[in-house]
């Protein structure tokens, strides 16, 4: 049995913290209003990973840069309401490792296909870096890399499975991180995607 570990200072892995059936159903509902899409980036490309958001604020990218927006640039409408089930999950995961006042106002949902990856980057579009970030893995397994203060070099690697939750607090939330190329799951060859739901306090 895998138990909660501090995989990096102030970074906690909560293995099998949640079931994912309800999460998947709620994602289906959200993407009817705000579908997954790649977003343009300032360097003239598109994000590798299709994404969407729910909650008061959503992370967006365009030719101008990265920021949080109260509306979906595809429709001009507010993002879908964050399901209470999502909010409570993020809250209880944060509280389980000592962050008792976490209140997510932003929820980013990433969709990874087999063969896709997320390059090394820092998350720095939020206003209050003392607030933790909570991330939930659904579907295909992934190897997550934490590089530390440099973009590349030697990384701490963490395997993430369906239902695993990570909480990034303190200094760890400013670390460079990446997701290695997603592979098929030999234990479940029919599985085609990994979803990651990231909860943030953005404002
Ligand atoms: C993922 N997503 O698996 C990850 C989970 C993203 C992203 O990285 O930006 O959409 S969030 C992991 C994370 C968040 C904030 C800080 C750190 C890692 N960190 O300092 O290592 O789709
Ligand atoms: Fe990130």
Q: What is the ipTM for the molecules in this complex? A: 0.97
* Residue 171 confidence (pLDDT) above 90: no
The model's pTM: 0.97
Q: What is the mean pLDDT of residues 113-126?
A: 96
Q: Which atom of ligand 1 is nearest to the CA of 112?
A: 22
Tell me which residue of 46, 52, 47, 49 sits closest to 79, measured CA to CA. 52
Q: What pLDDT, on a 0 to 100 scale, did the predictor assign at position 4?
A: 96
DSSP string, 119-149: EEE----SS-TTS-EEEEEEES-EEEEEEET
Ligand 1 pocket test: pick from 117, 139, 177, 196 the residue with the most ligand atoms within 8 Å of its Cβ: 177
Q: What's the angle, vertex CA 50, arms to CA 48 and CA 53, rounded to 5?
A: 130
Instruction: Judge if the beta carbon of residue 109 lies within 6 A of ligand 1.
Output: no
pLDDT by residue (tens digit) across 98-119?
999 999 999 999 999 999 999 9
Half-sphere CA count of 165, side-chain side, radius 13 A? 23
Ligand 1 neighbourhood includes 176 CB (under 6 angstroms): no
Domain locations in the chain?
A: 5-200
Which CATH code fits 5-200?
Answer: 2.60.120.590
């Amino acid at each position: 049995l895998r138990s909660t570990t501090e995989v990096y200072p102030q970074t906690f892995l909560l293995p099998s913290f949640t079931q994912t059936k309800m999460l998947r159903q709620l994602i289906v509902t959200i993407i009817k209003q705000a579908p997954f899409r790649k977003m343009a980036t300032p360097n003239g490309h598109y994000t590798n990973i299709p994404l969407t958001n729910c909650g008061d604020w959503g992370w967006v990218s365009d030719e101008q840069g990265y920021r949080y927006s109260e509306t979906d640039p595809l429709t001009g409408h507010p993002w879908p309401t964050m399901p209470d089930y999502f909010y409570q999950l993020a809250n209880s995961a944060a509280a389980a490792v000592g962050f008792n006042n976490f209140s997510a106002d932003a929820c980013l949902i990433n969709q990874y296909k087999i063969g896709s990856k997320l390059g090394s980057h820092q998350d720095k579009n939020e206003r209050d870096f003392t607030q933790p970030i909570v991330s939930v893995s659904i579907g295909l397994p992934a190897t997550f890399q934490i590089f530390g203060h440099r973009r590349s070099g030697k990384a701490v690697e963490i395997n993430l499975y369906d239902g695993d939750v990570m909480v990034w607090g303190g200094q760890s939330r400013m670390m460079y991180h990446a997701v290695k190329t997603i592979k098929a799951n030999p234990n479940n060859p029919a599985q085609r995607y990994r979803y990651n739901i990231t909860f943030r306090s953005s404002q």
